[in-house]
């Protein structure tokens, strides 16, 4: 069944009904690029879920290996979208979310990269927390661990800074922690809210697309990290994304500035807090890498000041059907 966006663009308030946890239609979205072995493990893990997703969408980001063929042949029967060009994680997730909502009638969209391996109870735990929550939720996220079981530093989540005592109690009743943003390494998004507030910006390419988008969903919504829902984030090394960014530092700088300066995802005081943390982190990186990142960062700074992200249908124009789905969601959201 297809669900229309709530009328009037009003913000749902705590206590407003959301799709029931037991009957909700959950569509998993996996974005893949040149990691055929990990993709196979990810899809195997989705097939082995105690509570399986109702449908699976795989966005093949123009892989040059056999990732697309692996997705096509996997017995889970995914809806596989083969993009003509690599539009990064941001473009892949925008495309996948739109497809899940437009073509699969998703109530909830469960997002992950191809190196995310959910443990068998991961989705069931997210839905159990949803069902136990006394308030309406917009985003739920899993605990992400590395292959040895340690919490992954790339996906560390902090408690929401302005959470009231009542909000903390509500989160505890559902078995979780109130959050302000979430990583797309296993995030469950309320389809009603994505229809109302729009998709992530494809132009981010990599990094901070999830920060901006979940920040948008959670500025006036409630989010929950659910420790009982565990996924393995099988990166090659145990480190955060900024440990050795190289040329990708350009996206770190440009996109974080886009999110903080060119979006309405964060209140003014949050921009100051997040901006201060970000600047401190960048300073440490520049010192560790002896200034080799300075030129890359300067290009990111200039790009952020020159313009904001382009409309996602423009970025995805090489794939007409994909762009049309994205346009339909963002237009309904008034974006």
* Domains along the sequence of the chain with CATH: 22-240+309-332 (3.90.550.60)
CA distances from 41 to 66, 76, 92, 117, 287 (A): 14, 12, 19, 7, 38
Q: Which pair of tokens denotes residue 217?
A: 């969903």
- Kindly tell me the sign of the dihedral angle through the C-alpha atoms of 110, 123, 167, 164: negative
Mean pLDDT value across residues 326-334: 96
Residue entry with tokens 């006394």: 134
How far apart, in whole angstroms, are the C-alpha atoms of residue 156 and residue 77?
32
The answer to whether 32 and 54 have CB atoms below 8 angstroms apart is no
Higher pLDDT, 257 or 291: 257
Q: Is the pLDDT of residue 210 over 70?
A: yes
Q: Is residue 239 very low, low, confident or very high in pLDDT (cuts 50, 70, 90)? A: low
113-131 pLDDT tens trace: 999 999 999 999 999 999 9
Say which residue the tokens 């040059």 belong to: 64
Contact 102, 325 (CB under 8 A): yes
Average pLDDT of the residues in 55-68 = 97
Instruction: List the structure tokens of 319.
Output: 């794939």
Q: What average pLDDT does the segment 253-259 reach?
A: 97
**Tens of pLDDT, residues 143-159:** 999 999 898 888 888 88
pLDDT band at 286 (very low <50, low <70, confident <90, very high): confident
pTM, two decimal places: 0.91
From first CA to last CA, the distance across the chain in angstroms is 24
Task: Name the percent of the chain lying above pLDDT 70.
Answer: 92
């Amino acid at each position: 069944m297809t669900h229309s966006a709530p009328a009037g663009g009003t913000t749902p308030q705590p206590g407003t009904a959301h799709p029931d946890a037991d009957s909700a239609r959950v569509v998993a979205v996996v974005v893949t690029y040149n990691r055929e072995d990990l993709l196979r493990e990810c899809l195997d893990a989705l097939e082995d879920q105690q509570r399986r997703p109702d449908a699976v969408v795989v966005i093949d980001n123009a892989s040059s290996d056999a990732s697309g063929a692996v997705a096509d042949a996997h017995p889970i029967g995914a809806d596989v979208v083969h993009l003509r060009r690599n539009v990064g994680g941001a473009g892949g997730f925008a495309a996948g979310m739109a497809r899940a909502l437009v073509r699969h009638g998703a109530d909830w969209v469960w997002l992950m990269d191809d190196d995310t391996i959910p443990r068998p109870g991961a989705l069931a735990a997210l839905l159990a927390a949803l069902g136990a929550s006394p308030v309406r939720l917009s985003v739920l996220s899993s605990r992400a661990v590395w292959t040895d079981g340690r919490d992954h530093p790339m996906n560390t989540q902090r408690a929401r800074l302005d959470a009231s005592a009542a909000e903390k109690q509500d989160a505890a009743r559902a078995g979780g922690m109130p959050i302000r943003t979430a990583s797309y390494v296993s995030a469950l998004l309320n389809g009603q809210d994505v229809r109302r507030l729009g998709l992530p910006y494809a132009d981010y390419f990599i990094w901070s697309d999830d920060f901006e988008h979940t920040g948008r969903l959670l500025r006036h919504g409630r989010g929950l990290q659910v420790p009982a829902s565990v996924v393995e984030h099988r990166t090659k090394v145990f480190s955060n994304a900024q440990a050795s960014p190289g040329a990708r530092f350009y996206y770190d700088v440009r996109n974080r500035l886009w999110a903080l300066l060119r979006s309405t995802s964060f209140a003014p005081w949050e921009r100051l807090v997040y901006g201060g943390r970000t600047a401190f982190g960048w300073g440490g990186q520049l010192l560790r890498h002896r200034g080799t990142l300075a030129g890359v960062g300067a290009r990111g700074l200039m790009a952020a000041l020159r313009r904001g992200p382009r409309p996602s249908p423009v970025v995805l124009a090489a794939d007409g059907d994909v762009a049309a789905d994205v346009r339909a969601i963002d237009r309904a959201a008034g974006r």
